[in-house]
Structure 1
């Protein structure tokens, strides 16, 4: 017989950022354990609220069928004596299987010839097995931070208060953390704190919603929140600007959402937009509203976890909570503008960057030097680059950034403009931390890109110089992200930079002597990020290998070469050329590569003469082949001559002069085929 199976664990409030992941793990874990143990099942639905994890599985069998297991016994030399009579080992093996000796057979196994027999494994009822399923699932959950409570020696993400296990209409016996299962769930903490009996597993979701004031399905709950937010914002003639991350967090904090509108004094609208949003979102999880012109209003939406008979009192309470937060922010704003950024620069000397690399003032001076070094790349004056670098970190010492660390750079722009700095310098201070993450936008000005690059090059060079480079999954200085940002800024802005030289300069100005090989290690570190970047863009791995074999110092140049290689591979004769190049490479590898130029007078056969003439012609017209795509496309003209050469000409001949000249010809072809990329690496 099959019936729906409901399993629910009731807990104290779950960490909001972990709720959905835990729900997914829990549901899939239960399903996997049942399947592993032979229980037939159908589709399932997982549920999650701040106070529960649950799964409802359609049509779970009440018993797993029995099966026959083949068991290997002792080897024949142990199972039988010299007279081929069964020994005690053979008899014991038969008894262990519950069969007679004549039911055993001798089979050839990976361990030699052995006695084997069949063991009948009886079916097991779900009633007997459900406890093990639960225990195995809970044990396997990936919970970053577990906790213990009461006298329990086991741990979980939060203390467990109830356990519900129902198969059809039957409560199944199970236990977790000393709590026995029953046929009841629990409703909303305020609206229905008592138990809710369940006469059938399928009534779980509807009973919670209609009796318990709980929307158990997180997707349905999210849809209701979105609908309420849109409706409430429209009533305020505004729109919500909060992102999906905040809405997901709010969804993980409520069981019965109710959208309410709150307001604050209009005097606070003089605060920067980002400060208002941070105050509402980060501190209170309120949803800011903006008008049709894109300006913030003095209204916000809060999602209450209660359906109050007096919603205005709930809204008023939220308004009282946010007032002191905004008062503090306004005080910080006025205080910071009074002091100005320049007055904070000397205090950077009191902030440690890294023990061996000095303080933030020391770092700022190095960043200014690197920014001046790469300034020609962006056609910038050293005056602007040095001023931007000087002020870049000053906002870290402001009251506002101390309260809202995520606003570093953002507040620097506001304060720089307030102090009379140019818009370009102010913008560079704001965007110095861009790109944020792997997909964020790069700085949108040349000065911003210059500052962002200089800051990251200094950090990378310094941390590598003190030998604290990333290891395994440990990267405390976020160097992988920094190197990826360097790569992205250069490529996505179309800026060509000899990265090897820039890294060498950054290492040379560090306050200590770097270990030998530091610059090479940094270059390879960036090459790894380059490879990852292009793979994520969908570039073929062999294209990347082909280009990196000949160019690894300039990310933008590498990008240009990759585009050319990608196009080249689509040409009709391209495969014939790079397959021939691979053959050339194999011959040279065996015979020894040569830098000698082939001698025209030593050509004997038409095929080798034709190849030599084509090379001579390319040498005379090399200035016309400066475009990577054109250079590679022109290689397709070698397809037929190469085929003829390998059909008609034997390279390894007894005549040393002839052999060496043909090897020199192949060497010259190899060098020509590697001008843009090592196209032999495109071959399978």
Structure 2
């Protein structure tokens, strides 16, 4: 039999749940790549992951590597032999490196000449001999930000490793990975089943692990079990369980044998803000809240146990006691916080450092007021509400509730603002200042929220860039990448026509003497933010050259950039786009290589040929029409308006000599091309389109 199932399992201490799936998928991706690199044929590669193991099954893996022909090309024959036909030292060195004599070399002829060549036949190795090195390499390439050492060894991995198994069919492959010898023995469930399990064949891995070890190794199966059973237990009390995607992934990664149960808490706690209860259950206890069919929170929660108990009521009671203690604390903090309005916390912000070189949160609040006022005026938002929301924006950070449950900052500010009669726009803005919090998150719901969210993010960007603390690699302690993308998403998706340059200048100037080089800071900010915009479009399958064509013109209004990019994206699929792009490429090339100082404008007296006269006339006509279209943001219509120039440009190039010896005429013709180039660049640099 020349094909077998390959099993690799790395048994560890508890792996980080939030990255478990990503680690397993990366492991599978790495192994697939390495097997392909070694020319080892196989069918699908399936990944498996539990809190204490990463495993892969490769089906129908070839047990032997195929023989390969490797072409070793030597020097050209004209330098391989001297005038007497004797091999040169270059040819001899090459032959020696191939392990042959010159007489054993073949000849190869291509368009560039004749070459010496040797086709070496490499005999394929046994797959089991290659697999230990392949697996070790795949593990080293896993995206692990923090490695651990254990015992007295120098090995590093995301968690200490206890067991390793590499099997090809029923054959145990000798290997030593992380100082652990490959063995048929793996670990079962920590509390149920057999502690040590013997795997006799790779094909039996899942069955044996489940039957004897009480471990469901298939991550996706565990996830489905949780989903279906959670819905079922909630339906029994006429409820709907909220299976948050992120929490579902995390819980799936926390258990090896999921048992789904439902519990309840006292109805009196429903008097707390729903956000507080849900946060307490989801973020702290990893519970799923249950709602009525009308969307009202019910005094129940669904949780997942990792143990199949003979008396599940004991587990339910234990979890109910835990959540009750949490809710009692939350109720106490909430009651205390409600004793005074948010604004009373404002002076205390002076004692909280925003950044040691940039002052306190009170300083930041004062800047946010001024920046929010400026933004609100630009976008016709409610200036008074924007300033008030900015004033109260950080006050909830000093509340007992946020001190205990830091993830609900902003949320509690909204509830406290409502409690003391602040307008709803202000209350929601306090919460939504942090939106979007992650990729794909919701945006602020109204203009006051948008104003404060933009102000908060731009103030942080300005301050951190102003003290040269740029993000490097994966280090971004102030989440500047997220802030930049958040600003862009709000402006584009909410259609807010702010100019990034004037906004950046305003944000930087509010820091006063704290930022020394304001021009550099503004320049670096814009470069950074537009860099995130480039990434954002790439993730949405916009072509690289479409994005570059627009950004090359250095526009600074994100909403305007978005309109241009979409216009170029649609236009480039039209037949006229190719001709216009080719024409712009030629114009750009000519202007790039000229050394003449051009005129400020085209002089009619130096237009000699009818083709250049016609081109100059049509440029003037289209320029007026284009100005109207661009003022209305009709960029696609603007591009279409340029297409009639293609024929005039071609006639100009075919009939008119640009580099004439008449200096005045030559400079005038180059000026005409420069004017045409400027016309194109009002929308995009079409010369960059491929």
Query: What TM-score, normalized by structure 2, do the two folds share?
Result: 0.85
| 350-359 or 461-470, which deviates more | 461-470
Aligned residue among 642, 645, 649 for 1:642: 649
Q: Distance in 1 between matches of 2:641 and 2:72?
A: 67
Aligned residue among 668, 672, 681 for 2:679: 672
Asked if the contact 1:196/1:212 (under 8 Å) is kept, the reply is yes
- Corresponding residue for residue 681 of structure 1: 687
Q: Distance in 2 between matches of 1:62 and 1:575?
A: 52
Aligned in 2, Cα 1:656/1:249: closer, same or farther, shift over 3 Å? closer
- Alignment of 1:402 with 2:403, yes or no, is yes
Gap regions ≥5 residues in structure 1: 74-83, 85-89, 109-114
Q: Deviations over 1:182-238 (max 9, x none)?
A: 434443222213333444332221222233322121122221221111111111211
CA offset at residue 519 of structure 1?
Answer: 2.1
Q: What SS does structure 2 have at the residue aligned with 1:386?
A: helix
- Corresponding residue for residue 614 of structure 2: 610
CA offset at residue 29 of structure 1?
Answer: 5.2
Q: Distance in 2 between matches of 1:546 and 1:60?
A: 47
- Alignment of 1:593 with 2:635, yes or no, is no
- Corresponding residue for residue 79 of structure 1: none
Q: Distance in 2 between matches of 1:72 and 1:643?
A: 46
- Corresponding residue for residue 328 of structure 2: 327
Alignment of 1:152-163 (within 5 A): 152-163=153-164
- Corresponding residue for residue 558 of structure 1: 561
Alignment of 1:119-198 (within 5 A): 132=133, 135-176=136-177, 179-198=180-199
CA offset at residue 44 of structure 1?
Answer: 3.7
Q: Distance in 2 between matches of 1:651 and 1:56?
A: 67
- Corresponding residue for residue 458 of structure 1: 459
- Corresponding residue for residue 15 of structure 2: 14
| 509-518 or 276-285, which deviates more | 509-518
- Alignment of 1:514 with 2:516, yes or no, is yes
Q: What SS does structure 1 have at the residue aligned with 2:255?
A: coil
Q: What SS does structure 2 have at the residue aligned with 1:10?
A: strand
Aligned residue among 526, 531, 535 for 2:534: 531
Q: Deviations over 1:451-472 (max 9, x none)?
A: 1111222222222222222334
Asked if the contact 1:549/1:677 (under 8 Å) is kept, the reply is no
| 127-136 or 369-378, which deviates more | 127-136
| Matched residue count | 673
CA offset at residue 355 of structure 1?
Answer: 1.8
Alignment of 1:280-291 (within 5 A): 280-291=281-292
| Aligned alpha-carbon RMSD (Å) | 4.1
Aligned in 2, Cα 1:351/1:192: closer, same or farther, shift over 3 Å? same
Alignment of 1:463-482 (within 5 A): 463-482=464-483
Q: What SS does structure 1 have at the residue aligned with 2:317?
A: helix
- Corresponding residue for residue 89 of structure 2: none
Q: Distance in 2 between matches of 1:640 and 1:71?
A: 51
Q: Deviations over 1:234-289 (max 9, x none)?
A: 11211111212211111112121111110100011112222111111111111111
Q: Distance in 2 between matches of 1:128 and 1:545?
A: 48
Q: Distance in 2 between matches of 1:603 and 1:181?
A: 84
| 172-181 or 184-193, which deviates more | 172-181
Aligned in 2, Cα 1:572/1:509: closer, same or farther, shift over 3 Å? same
Q: Distance in 1 between matches of 2:169 and 2:51?
A: 26
- Corresponding residue for residue 416 of structure 2: 415
CA offset at residue 606 of structure 1?
Answer: 3.1
- Corresponding residue for residue 77 of structure 2: none
Gap regions ≥5 residues in structure 2: 75-85, 87-91, 109-115
Query: What TM-score, normalized by structure 1, do the two folds share?
Result: 0.86
Q: Distance in 1 between matches of 2:659 and 2:128?
A: 78
Aligned in 2, Cα 1:107/1:289: closer, same or farther, shift over 3 Å? same
Q: Deviations over 1:419-454 (max 9, x none)?
A: 111111111111111122243232111111111111
Structure showing greater radius of gyration is 1
CA offset at residue 389 of structure 1?
Answer: 0.9
Alignment of 1:211-230 (within 5 A): 211-230=212-231
- Alignment of 1:387 with 2:388, yes or no, is yes
Asked if the contact 1:598/1:662 (under 8 Å) is kept, the reply is no
Q: Deviations over 1:72-102 (max 9, x none)?
A: 99xxxxxxxxxx9xxxxx9xx99x98x9x99
- Alignment of 1:487 with 2:485, yes or no, is no
Alignment of 1:18-417 (within 5 A): 18-27=19-28, 41-60=42-61, 132=133, 135-176=136-177, 179-417=180-418
| 443-452 or 51-60, which deviates more | 51-60
Asked if the contact 1:357/1:511 (under 8 Å) is kept, the reply is no
Asked if the contact 1:171/1:182 (under 8 Å) is kept, the reply is yes
Aligned in 2, Cα 1:243/1:656: closer, same or farther, shift over 3 Å? same
CA offset at residue 496 of structure 1?
Answer: 1.8
CA offset at residue 353 of structure 1?
Answer: 1.0
Aligned in 2, Cα 1:611/1:13: closer, same or farther, shift over 3 Å? closer
Q: Distance in 1 between matches of 2:495 and 2:131?
A: 61
